[in-house]
Structure 1
């Protein structure tokens, strides 16, 4: 089954709890339509369908036709009205990847870094709720996520922004999608400056050892990255994770929190010796005050717990 379009809350309806999708369809093709209830809601359904003229797709709708951006700084305009997802299966295991959150109307650009440094990319002043992703790779089957964001906390809250370090001569693939199938005019701002400092415990292999049974440690995740095979902590995309390791001195109930951190954190605790071998013990997003995180779990003595904090 191939994914075509989806929506949760339609901002154009009298109540935003209803749903609406718009997409181009092909004559003679059978489309399967599913209606579900958010978080298990149920009741009577009224489904309305209207077929009109096709929406003209943007020139850079498909990855193969991505528009070229050169230099820095640069501002780019575009639109994702009439755009679609490419060859995505219902579970997003094949074809175009899911960019941070559910979208379905993606458009693409490609940009080659003229020098190594720190990239700042935003969709500020775009006309809809955007999703932004940066990848390396030459086709949809070998894309590697570099950075992504749904709602930029430094902006209006519904546009997107990413920062990441880039390497001279590397081609980066940039995608803008619409959250929950949103579409409209796009304003993309790109600026390349000095490299961002990378935390010493950015990579799992370089996690910092925490000792004792009651301790507080500090750190930062500016300039941090998401590693290949790294799990999504609490099943949310962050992209700027840092790692600690703690060996429990004995059995008991453990509480780990990020209270006092100055950004919206995501927290994950795992066992395992490598990113591809991790087993989640506990995770949280906004369980503590001011969008910080907290988890409580039981541990045996001598267990090595891998702790990740993401944004």
Structure 2
């Protein structure tokens, strides 16, 4: 707006200069020259001020909106206690669209997410829609954890056996495109990153995967920057937690399955063994004991296998 007014003022000043030159009036000519300078400077200053005021207004609106959204997210987070979920660690996405938390005492993972997709919309009262809901999962419901940068996979940990079954069974129908896209994405190799996400695949037929945006930059930042390193450290921390849970569930679950199978066989054949005190105990009991020792880290997987073979023989 002010640029247009300034241009109009310059045109008027040029007309005045031409009149002064025609009449050989130096005063009028200098008046026109100063008028052009003042018009140019004034229009530039006022236009810049208008842009700054507009930006400050947007920042204030976004700040107020962010406070409102954060308040709604906090409310959803506090509601988890009604389901006896007590978070020991939590992380909120950069865009405030989701949140992940872990209850280490009760061995559960909670994910809070906005049921509305505001992707591509500015954060404003008029456009953004907020409706947070939460889901709580057992550790063994976590099938895959994956770090994604700008749509490309950086690293992934999955329970391949159950994940494959979920795909074949149609448990991730609705989200197949995104999940398959993540599974087949090329490894990230760019030196600059615009977005960093953690994708979690769960054993749930209603909603099979979630994406937590840990970093979203207006312009791509180099991987050597402090901004990127901070974001990557945060997302890697959560990926490592989920990876540990996935691997641990696989290990313990395998031991339990083997122990239960052997227990069933022992029960069918009425197998009885003697403990060191001479008391009679079933082979099934002994195998289950060994499985518990593996869980507690008292014996290794290899030791478990050897002891199991000795008992069966």
Asked if Structure 1 and Structure 2 have the same fold, meaning a TM-score greater than 0.5 normalized by the shorter chain, the answer is no
What is the TM-score with the length of structure 1 in the denominator? 0.23
Higher relative contact order (CA 8 A, sep 6+): 1
Higher helix share: 2
What is the TM-score with the length of structure 2 in the denominator? 0.23
